[in-house]
Amino acid sequence: MREHDALYCYYEVCNEALASLTSEEAVSAGSADWRSRHPEVESYREEYLPLIKGHGIPGFPEAGDNDNRFISEAGLKGSLDEDVQRYLQTLVDHARSQGKTPVLSGQRMLGRSHGIREAFPGFHILLVRNLFHQWNSYSGQFRTGNPYFLWTLHRTLVLASRDPFIAYLTSIFDDAALVSQEKWMASENSDNLFCYFVAFHIYFYLETLPNVDLVIDSTRLAEPDGVYLQRMQRELGAGVGLEIDLSNVRTAIDLPCFPIWQPALCRNRIEELVESAHSIRRSTIEERKFADGMLADLWYEWERFELYSKSARERIRDVEAQLATSVNALEIARASFSDTEAKLGEMREAVAREETANQVLREQVERQRMVSVQRDRDLARLYERLADQQAQRVAADQRATYLEADKGKLAEELARNQAKISRLVRGREEHVIERSRLEGELVAMRAGIRKIEEDFTQRLAGVVDEERSRAADQLKRVVDDFNAERAELVKEITQGAEQKAALDNILSRHVRDLAVSEQGYAAAALACDQLKEKVRHLDEDISAADAKYRQAILERDEIRARWDQLTVTLTSGEVPRALRWVLPLARWLRPFAGEADHSSRRRG
């Protein structure tokens, strides 16, 4: 009928889903979205689309309990509720604004049929279906996981307070089934629910019959001979003034969730319930015949279904039993899997903790590595400082050797100088000029010595850099021997320092003695410059400077002889290996010794 150009068909005008229907749902909700077993329908509610304003159809009757409004406030034979009438009028007006005839459909209209007939005097049709087929559809949906239709039956229990027959129908259930939907849909309640379903529909069909112009049995429309189809099409066409094609009607019987466990008991109970309905509403003969025909068709289809499906249902029960066993096994497997997954989760957590610990350990190792690298760098710097200290220690040892050599000479010299002081006092005047000359030569010698020291330092740095790499390799091997030698040298240096301190005290006393003599002061100053601070203690005796100078020349010759002897010794390898690096230095200083010898000869 929806394909007819002159008709505007509304599907289930009282369905509660219309209260919140959206445009997307109106377009998308079709027969493919659920196990409908309907002919292909892209959208059940496409006709509502122009009326939707955000959410819901404007004017849809709102109620805290919509099922209680299955019957109007005025009762089965009363007028429509005002809001329901306004809502239906909106649908009618919209269809007419499109130039079409409105068609309003829906099961929830049965309890309002009198009021609808009164408010909308059009052509009214009661569309019925074989009740056994319809029950199988309800139960089959529940079997496949859709309890909606059995749930709607439970919701009609609220009508018991408003209708005496519905109140009577509820007496076939125990209190648990009336309160709990789970008990309501349980297997042990399925026969009572079937009886309630049949009696409920027949009762409202009987109430609707006086208010309709035509009754159509959709099950019979699919009869193979087509006689009933043709008659209904003619009567419908005559009623609405249009040619209506109903040939696409198909019939299908679903497999119920539960069979009728006690058919004889159910048959007797349904007959009693229907008879009570006749008594309460005082049915006419025609209405009784209608009800009897509905029941006869029901049981006829049940017998055929039992005949054709018995073996299949037994097989299905066996399969369901196997399936239940499989489901139980699956549940056990799921439980085992859950345990395994929990253990796996614990293992993952343990691995994560171990990974965290490993990460911390890796970080600690990295920090230790960085500390070790820093320590290696510090050790390298320490080795460099040690090499520098070794070089400084060798130089100190050399200076200590020189001091030891000078110590005895200075003692002898002091003794001789003490005897010569008296003579030197007398020769002060003749030596004043000589003093000036000697001072000039001394300045020149100091400059030469500084130049020698600077050149020595530069060349020594080069020699040290060259020898350092070789000395570093030898350092490890020599360190034990060197430590022993170092201890002895330190001891000797300590003794030399003590002796030097004693000598310094003696020199200090000489300085105080020589300070009283103006002539001895000049000679002592010359000796102090020549002997690097030691000679200045002879400052009182200027005349003694000449003798000191000659004595220094003799001492220098002796030192040069010792230096040559040391060079020969170093060459022959008779000294510790740690001091052999001095050999290149001795060879390098030899020319300066020659210059000093030439200078002494020139002064002589």
Separation of alpha carbons 476 and 522, rounded Å: 53
Predicted local distance difference test score (pLDDT) of residue 212: 96
Is residue 277 within 8 A of residue 206, CB to CB? The reply is yes
127: helix, strand or coil = strand
Each residue's pLDDT tens digit, 19-40: 888 888 888 877 767 677 777 7
**Cβ atoms of 138 and 197 closer than 8 Å:** yes
What residue type is assigned to position 179 of the chain? V
Q: From CA 445, how far away is CA 556, in angstroms rounded?
A: 13
Assign 3-class secondary structure to 130-162.
CHHHHHHHHHHHHHCCCCHHHHHHHHHHHHHHC
Q: Is the distance from CB of 100 to CB of 7 less than 8 angstroms?
A: yes
Can you tell me the distance from the alpha carbon of 450 to that of 454, in angstroms, rounded to the nearest whole number? Answer: 6
Q: Which helix (H) or strand (E) holds 104?
A: strand 101-104
Centre a 10 Å sphere on the Cβ of residue 202 and count the other Cβ atoms it contains: 24
- Distance, in Å, from the CA atom of 421 to the CA atom of 424, rounded to the nearest integer, reads 5
Neighbours of 304 (CB within 10 A): 12
Look over the chain and give the mean of its residue pLDDT values, rounded to a whole number: 80
Note the pLDDT tens digit of each residue in 406-434.
777 777 777 777 777 667 667 666 666 76
Counting Cα atoms < 13 Å in the Cβ hemisphere of 422 gives 2
For residue 470, CA distances in Å to 431, 465, 475, 604 come to: 54, 9, 8, 45
- CB 116 within 8 Å of CB 110: no
132, 133, 135, 140: CA torsion to nearest 10: 140
Q: Running DSSP on this structure, what letter comes out for residue 53?
A: -
Helix 148-155 / helix 131-143 crossing angle, nearest 10 deg: 120
Range from 58-62, 119-123, 401-405, 567-571 carrying the lowest mean pLDDT: 567-571
Using CB atoms within 10 A of its CB, is residue 523 exposed (0-12), middle (13-18) or buried (19+)? buried
pLDDT tens-place string over residues 78-113: 999 999 999 999 999 999 999 999 999 988 889 999
Least confident stretch, 193-197, 290-294, 486-490: 486-490
User: What percent of the chain has a predicted confidence (pLDDT) above 70?
Assistant: 73
Q: Which residues share a beta bridge with 9?
A: 103
Kindly state the DSSP code that residue 256 receives in the 8-state scheme.
P
Task: Measure CA 359 to chain center.
Answer: 17
